[in-house]
Amino acid sequence: MCLNKITVILLVCSLFSAGQLSGNFVANEISDELKNNARSVVRYHEQTLEVQTISDAKLSVRYAITVLNKNGLEDSFLQVGYNKNIKVRNIVGEIFDASGKRIKRLSISDVEDFSAIDGFSIYDDSRVKYYDPEIREYPFTVEYSYDLNFNGYVSLPGWSPFFGSNVSVEKSSFFLIYPSDLRLRYEENNIAKKNEELFDDQIKIKWEMEGVEAIEYEPFMPPYKDWGESVAIAPDQFKYEGYSGGADSWFNLGVWAHQLSEGRGELSESTVQEMRELIVGASSEKEKIERIYNYLQENTRYVSIQLGIGGFQPFEAETVERLKYGDCKALTNYMKALLAAVDVQSFYTLVLAGDYEPNVSEKFPSNNFNHVFLCAPLEKDTLWLECTSQNIPCGYIGDFTDDRNVLLVGEDGGQLVRTPAYSASSNGIRSNSNVDIYANGNAKIKAVNRFYGSYLDQIVYRMSLDDVSKERGIYERIDVPKLRVNDFNYSIDKQHKMGTERLDLDVANLAVKMGSNLFLTPNMFNRVEELSGDPQKRLTDIFIRRSSSQSDTIKFHLPSGVEVSTIPDNITIDSEFGLYKMELALEGQTLSYYRYFELKKGTYLKSRANEFYVFFNQIKKADKLRIALKVN
Amino acid sequence: MKNQFYFFVSIFFFCQSIYAITPPIKYGKVSEEELLMTVYDKDSSAVAVVLCDYGFFDLRDYYFTRTIRVKILRKEGLYLANDIYPGIEGSEVKGKTFNLVDGEVVVTKLKAESVFRERVHEDYYRLRIAMPDVKVGSVFDIEMRQYFPPPVWSFQREIPVVWSELIMPESLYFKMQRRLTGFEPLVIRSRNRWAAKDVKAFKEEPYTNSSENYITKFDIDLESIEIPGVLYKEYATDWDAVARRLAESSWFGNHLESAALYLKDIVKEIEASDTTDLLKIQSAYNFVKQINWNGYNSIYTTKSSSLGRVIDEGIGNTADINLLLVRLLNKLDIKAKPVILSTRENGTISSYYPSLNRLNYVIAYVDLGLSELYLDATDELLPLGMLPKRCLNENAQLVHNGKAYYKSIEPVFKNKATELMTLNMNEDLSISGTYSSRREGYNAYNYRKQFEKYNSVESYIDNLEDNFSGLEISDYNIKNLEKVEEPISESCAIELEDAVFEVDGKVFFNPLFHLQMEENPFKLAERKYPVDYAYKQNLTYSISIVIPDGYAVEELPETIKMGLPENAASVFYSINAVGNRVAVTYRFIINKERFNVTDYQLLKEFYSQVIEKQAEPVILKKL
């Protein structure tokens, strides 16, 4: 009897906790401001994070979203990611038509289950629960709720009322609940309002936002964290698959990361011997590292496998030695072991890699990294070693890892340091071309383009293609009506960290013939594109992530009998955002064109958007400049 | 008795012959020559090469064994050592990597740690394999064994294949349909054995309908299984058999037989209001179009019971929607029948090789006596008789009463548009005026589709303005956007900045302004596969520009008229000046849906000449 009662109570509880949805959604009650530019509108979104212990947490999510048109269709799908340490529970869903009438209830048998291995991994254990309510009559509303149970964690989910561009939000809230003896920290970005309740044994904090209008993509947009509301949560202590750690300081997070790779650096005696032989005659530490890095590149390949703690722990160096492949952690750990074999010290380094990732704030230690590489400190010049590429120069740092805070993992703890940033002069493309123009307007072009800094990655990519795809890429990038690629060549100068593209091209009608005139646009290939959007309506600041400079020097060799009617004046556009120069000179039958375009790293207030667009429009106009040639 | 004896004897001999063939590859037996190879002589740019790919279906136990040997030639080819293979849960895998180290062959075995079985969805598995110890110069072997053959065998891959062989014996018990597609020849084509030699790497090209059509491969379909006296099951021996199977299916034919009482009301309604067959068809089509397509292609309905539920739920797949349309038309005494086909992405079906597995779409066919109509009610933006691009894939089969009839699907509509601009060049050399357009057929359809992507007319215009720098649009008006049976017409006022430039007291402008075609869609020097536009094109621009006082026309681009043989494509471009008015007429026509590879150079040249011609400016002089 007693048992039955308990069952009933449990049933009622579960109905109230996850099973109950609020209903009542009339699509045309949404305000016009929130409908503006929106494909769908989040009616409410409630996220409750209950952290019970250092290894148990539960995230309950409930939300309703009204899909206004076809473009928002995917917002109506339920997509819940999980893996073997995150369990999905209590999926409930209901569907409402435009008038708010319920037309469907999610049945658990309709929820499908797929593997969700990311594009670059050979294997990981991510899966997704997926449900399409199959409504194609707009507008309509879906309401879902589900729980995620975390069996161990190293980081915790945070919150933001942002659900992608063209989605507005009526109301979004985040409720954090945890026992007062558990130490959690949170980092607020652009948050105005919060509500904190302290009980004897529990802490409850609630963040809320109302009426967030839909935003569209804007060029030079800063990462969301810089302008939008968000809260990040980090535990001081955590436990995952038997490994306990602390994230209360960068130092302690480093202790945990070190513990995971400890004892995994053993190499076979023969490999140790091979490394010692490899460095014989090396004149400096740097040269030793270069030789060993080259060995790594010649002998291993990158294969991503992410499983459980394997998502954080490298395989043993011996395994890489045997398989000749590994993921970023395994290859970094292996490289570290190879260096250690010749007594060169290096540090396993955690990084939030990617061109669009936000800044990792120094004041908020948290395990929010997605990649690992190696840092080898030298007296003058620290080397950063990306161990997953077979092609880049030793010590090359691309837009994936440059200019950001990273965590060095030492034997006794972690330390947050910053990777170097590129200056405008060290980052860009220098192009030198010689162009023979014929009287009919056809041209023969020989170009040498040198890629520096983050741009070198483009050459690394092009070199990774087979010859057919390399050639096809040239046809696709160069936008002229009729082109013939006679020859091309790609190379990387590892010493100078420079990539070179050499092209030999024939172009028909590079100059357009009109009667006795030829019209030539000297900027053949490198024109700036129109900035989309209206500067008056700009919502975010202008964010130039890294400084860069492009220079083009082109010598046009004109046939005899062809004259330049007038040489347009040189142009200089100098602004705080950057510098643009265009210079033309005629010497005999050679017309020289020089273009320089520099962008300066920084965040510029959105109130200056107009100025920025004017700067770009002036350049765009200068890039289109045409010269009239006279054919005698 | 005699029959049965014959039966077993034939199987015996048959097996003998197949098992007597020496396999082209023996797992694990790599030659020194293969290890020493540094370049593939037939294609020196190859980053890796498949030395042998051998599939063998053993009738004795119904197991299929695939043995593949790959040689890595360059660093860029290392990625081929990580690959994904279709499989089933119980697929057995073994693998070995061979390296030549100081003249010695070093063998590294593939272990379970490097084989991952991904359960993609339900019973569909993939094997994800990362071969160990692979570097430039390595050769590796993988052998996979599984129950039953895979549905596809590709002779061609993204890297060259030296030898690819498939042995698929047929028995009287077990019949299969094997259909070959692609452009590479086979060197062996016997009843049970097929092989290709030195197959070139496959590269995708723009404007093709589906790579599925061009890659050289076999589609393997189960035709029938027979266990004498116990079971006989027929799958697809000919198109009539396909039609018979569909006719018997609860997910197809049964719907066409049912009384369809759920249609009673709508039949009554249509019969009361519409008098002619064409009006009835239009009303039925509009009614069924209200049902939303769930985005899934299938020849089978989602329901085996009544399609009435599809109406109630307001959503369905292609079969739900179009079989419902057929049924409704039949109830209205219109001769409508289902037509089954394969979409462009799914590959073309052959009229000679019946295959149920290859079909993924049903449309409705109406015989009007003198003319015929093909209808697809899955897209509300389609006018009556227009098929979406996905269906324009040549071959189709009409199925009726257990019989199949070949139908060739050709688009009835064109991509047709007329755009007019009446412009004034002002004293300050800015341009202002009006623009209007009339869009028909696929042009209107594509325009409506495009329009749907924007959340408002304003954001559509913003995007247009962003695409053409210097273009400003006001007083925009669009008619018939929602009336899909009608052409679209647009009108607006426009301003164009930066469209005119001055050199040495002369003024230059491009008379097509932002309507100029800027990019040649065909850039590659060579092409291997046909160009497929799906439908014909017919674009007309008519532009007039009034030039300001104080200027006179100095030079105009010459009028041209050119075309491809048999009028397959043509362009007419004329620019005339009368007084202070410059009048431009431009007509661009593509009169053929498909161009053979042999026509590629001509077509590419045609486009580049059009683009060059369009780049020529009008020159004005100051008086």
Three-class DSSP labels, B285-312: HHHHHCCEECCCCCCCCCCCCCCHHHHH
Confidence band, pLDDT 50/70/90 cuts, at residue A120: low
Confidence band, pLDDT 50/70/90 cuts, at residue A108: confident
CA distance A157 to chain B (A): 26
Is the Cβ pair B452, A69 closer than 8 Å? Answer: yes
Residues B459 and B404: beta-carbon distance below 8 Å: no
CA distance B90 to chain A (A): 18
Does pLDDT of A10 surpass 50? no
Does pLDDT of B460 surpass 80? yes
Is the Cβ pair A469, B203 closer than 8 Å? Answer: yes
Alpha helices in A47-101 (DSSP H): none
| Chain A CB within 8 Å of residue B611 CB | yes
Is the Cβ pair B520, A117 closer than 8 Å? Answer: no
Using an 8 Å CB-CB cutoff, list chain A residues near B449.
none
Residues A559 and A591: beta-carbon distance below 8 Å: no
Across A411-420, B81-90, B408-417, least confident range: B81-90
Using an 8 Å CB-CB cutoff, list chain A residues near B502.
none
Across A389-393, B179-183, B260-264, B337-341, least confident range: B179-183
Instruction: Tell me the DSSP string of B415-433.
Output: EEEEEEEEEEE-TTS-EEE
Across A215-224, A501-510, B303-312, least confident range: B303-312
The residue whose two tokens read 């050399």 is B429
Across A225-239, B8-22, B331-345, B498-512, least confident range: B8-22
Residue to test with chain B: of A68, A77, A123, A315, most B Cβ within 10 A = A123
Is the Cβ pair A566, B503 closer than 8 Å? Answer: yes
Q: Which amino acid is at B93?
A: V
Confidence band, pLDDT 50/70/90 cuts, at residue B187: confident
| More confident site: B224 or A433 | A433
| More confident site: A180 or B213 | A180
| Chain A CB within 8 Å of residue B389 CB | no
Cα–Cα distance list, B333 to A384, B276, B324, B398, B403 (Å): 77, 11, 14, 18, 21
Confidence band, pLDDT 50/70/90 cuts, at residue B20: low
pLDDT digits (tens, 9 = 90+) for B164-186: 999 988 776 666 666 677 777 88
Count of A–B CB contacts within 8 Å? 157
Nearest to B455 among A71, A122, A390 (CB): A71
Cα–Cα distance list, A456 to A302, A373, A498 (Å): 20, 18, 6
3-class DSSP state of B447? helix
Q: Which residues of A569-597 are buried (b: 16+ CB within 10 A; e: fewer)?
A: eebebebebbbbbbebeeeeeebebbbbb
Alpha helices in A447-598 (DSSP H): 456-463, 467-477
Is the Cβ pair B108, A322 closer than 8 Å? Answer: yes
Confidence band, pLDDT 50/70/90 cuts, at residue B217: confident
Is the Cβ pair A123, B116 closer than 8 Å? Answer: yes
Burial of A530 (0-12, 13-18, 19+ CB in 10 A): middle
Arithmetic mean of pLDDT, A177-183: 92
pLDDT digits (tens, 9 = 90+) for B558-580: 999 999 998 999 999 999 999 89
CA distance A37 to chain B (A): 6
Arithmetic mean of pLDDT, A458-465: 90
Tokens of A420: 């170097």
Average pLDDT for chain B: 86
Rounded-to-integer distance, Cα B110 and Cα B114, Å: 7
Give the pLDDT score at B597.
Answer: 84
Across A71-75, B109-113, B190-194, least confident range: B190-194
Nearest to A303 among B45, B130, B524 (CB): B130
DSSP A83: B
Residue of B nearest to A73 (CA): B294
Give the pLDDT score at B304.
Answer: 76
pLDDT digits (tens, 9 = 90+) for A297-351: 999 999 887 766 667 888 899 999 999 999 999 999 999 999 999 999 999 999 9
Does pLDDT of B520 surpass 80? no
Confidence band, pLDDT 50/70/90 cuts, at residue A17: very low
Is the Cβ pair A628, B503 closer than 8 Å? Answer: yes
CA distance B12 to chain A (A): 44
Q: Which of B54, B50, B51, B55 is nearest to B31 (CA)?
A: B51
Q: Which of A520, A401, A488, A500 is nearest to A459 (CA)?
A: A500
Is the Cβ pair B133, A324 closer than 8 Å? Answer: yes
CA distance B123 to chain A (A): 11
Arithmetic mean of pLDDT, A461-480: 86
Q: Which of B619, B468, B615, B467 is nearest to A482 (CA)?
A: B615
Give the pLDDT score at A530.
Answer: 81
Average pLDDT for chain A: 89
> What is the ipTM score, two decimals?
0.74
Contact map slice: B 124-143 vs A, CB within 8 A: 128-130, 132-135
pLDDT digits (tens, 9 = 90+) for A555-579: 999 999 899 988 889 999 999 999 9
Using an 8 Å CB-CB cutoff, list chain A residues near B113.
323
Arithmetic mean of pLDDT, A433-447: 94
| Chain A CB within 8 Å of residue B47 CB | yes
Tokens of A510: 């590079």
Q: What is the pTM of this model?
A: 0.77
Other C-beta atoms closer than 10 Å to the C-beta of A352 total 17
Residues A496 and A451: beta-carbon distance below 8 Å: no
